[in-house]
Amino acid sequence: MKTFTSILTAAAIALPSVSFASAAFLPPAPEIAGKAYYLTDFNSGQVLAERDPDSRVEPASLTKLMTAYLTFKALKEKRLTLEQTLTVSQKGWKTEGSRMFLDPKVPAKVDDLIKGMIVQSGNDACVTLAEAIAGSEEVFAQVMTQQAQKLGMKNTQFRNATGLPNPEHYTTVHDLGILAGALIRDFPEFYPIYSIKSFTYNNIKQPNRNLLLYRDPNVDGMKTGYTDSAGYNMITTSHRDGRRVISVVVGTASPEARAVESSKLLNYGLQFYDTPKLYSGAKPVSELPIYKGATKTVSVGFASDVYATVAKGQAAKLKADLTTMQPLIAPVKAGQVVGKLVVSLDGKPLFERPVVALKAVEEGGFFSRLWDSIKLMLGWK
């Protein structure tokens, strides 16, 4: 891969003009009273603060984010429907811990089971959904682990759908951050369920245990968890002025502590950082020459929107360098990686993104290919 300087005009890869009145000031992340934590910007995916991100932790009911992910996936693939009714098994009915109080004699709608799983953290709902999707909770746990690997959760293994303690059931705060972001990104139609403050089933009303839903209007999810061995855990997300940050805090001492510590992280991420949008997905950022093709150039850009998260006041200092594969020879598929963009700040690389062909370019005719072969052999451009 080499830089093709003839296309690197200022207009072709110029970053948007962004100005902020406040001077750059980035204090250290706040002290968090917990075993580990992780804070990311949802749009850019950049890590804003972390402690022991890859240490093995017990997720407790944060496990239910993956149970929900696979339930939403089954709905999207029409293997389940919201109006479908399921009956809790004896195993599900007898599962210990928090529950939505399913009645073995009364089938429940999938829609209610999802709310019972998310709002009430019902273990009985989780087992019922797991058995409906995979036949048994044991097989469902295998699918959970497989899905975790697909999402890039490299240090996660599931043994059940509920988060009840098991020495072989573990994850990391980094992996939980990946899962939370994937759930919001992949199933936006279901995400509002995480902001429901209470749910009544079987004449029993239970509140959402996420205390920040009642205290902070910018918080709209996600999930709490607790066991004696794990402590009090919480994944929380907050949005403000077009930005969204996700925090993961585990191993705190009480429900109040996990709320307070999560709030510290969320406010830190929203107050001291900006996340400007640099490029729109599927929009050309440059035209590359292409040889032996039906056309002489191909538009290139990004598969999705590109954001950068920087300390407030630093956005104007961002620099972008485009590096492309040359010579580029047809055929080229739409979405094929043809280079990379490196975004840097103060001379230090911040992140990179693959640059892709936005449209397919088929091979040209015989004489066109022959002429381009001669040009390539002689080094002509």
- Please identify every residue annotated as catalytic: 61, 64, 121
Q: How many Å apart are CA 20 and CA 357, to the nearest integer? A: 33
Which DSSP helix (H) or strand (E) runs through 267?
Answer: helix 255-272
CA triplet 100, 143, 110: central angle to 5 degrees? Answer: 30
The conformation of residue 200, written as its DSSP 8-state character, comes to: E
Q: How many Å apart are CA 69 and CA 225, to the nearest integer? A: 17
CB 267 within 8 A of CB 49: no
Q: In this structure, what token pair is assigned to residue 368?
A: 């066109």
Q: In this structure, what token pair is assigned to residue 301?
A: 């850009």
DSSP strand pairing (243-252 vs 286-289): unpaired
SS3 at position 97: coil
Total length of the chain: 381
Q: Is the dihedral of CA 154, 64, 273, 281 positive or negative?
A: positive
DSSP 6-68: GG--HHHHPPPP---SSPP--PPPPP--SSEEEEEETTT--EEEEESTTS-B--GGGGHHHHH
Which DSSP helix (H) or strand (E) runs through 198?
Answer: strand 198-201
**CA separation (Å) from 84 to 72, 79, 114, 193?**
14, 10, 12, 18
Residue 16 φ/ψ region, left for φ over 0, alpha for ψ in the -120 to 50 degree band, beta for the rest: beta
Among 358, 319, 324, smallest CA distance to 342 is for 319
Q: How many Å apart are CA 90 and CA 87, to the nearest integer? A: 10
Other beta carbons within 10 Å of 96: 9
CB 140 within 8 A of CB 158: no
Q: In this structure, what token pair is assigned to residue 308?
A: 């950068």
